[in-house]
Structure 1
């Protein structure tokens, strides 16, 4: 008694191709739309992450810019420039009798 067993996968496949074309097409459409949802969700999460990273970088650059502006203001202060001119360059203010005034007509 050697009765061969029917191949169930083969029967289901041929049944889907002959009788179940519409359900098979709908199943494929559902699968494709599910994959599209997963892909769009993934891409939107990546975009949100990139936006957050850009905002953090912008805040860091803004802080650095503020610090550089403070440093520039401190370095350009009149009293500092005057003291550097006196100490490093040995400059002094000219006497009033040695001043020359130039005027444009």
Structure 2
């Protein structure tokens, strides 16, 4: 849905928690019956899902992020689409 309508605003669902596990020195995305250890692109994308930017704005911003070389807007939109499909994020209309 985000790819089809990039003006929608993604936000982490209330039952999902993104946090840094200091004991194991890694980021964790926790949801009911699911646990993910996100890679750098996924982590930065999910951190941007705060309800203030649209999917298109997040994609444009991260595609120009110097730390993420060779990342396109489509890569970011794919991450958003996948995590929406898996139930980690929901979308709000603009």
Both proteins in one fold, TM over 0.5: no
Q: What TM-score, normalized to structure 1? A: 0.17
More strand by share: 2
More helix by share: 1
Greater CA radius of gyration, 1 or 2? 1
Q: What TM-score, normalized to structure 2? A: 0.19
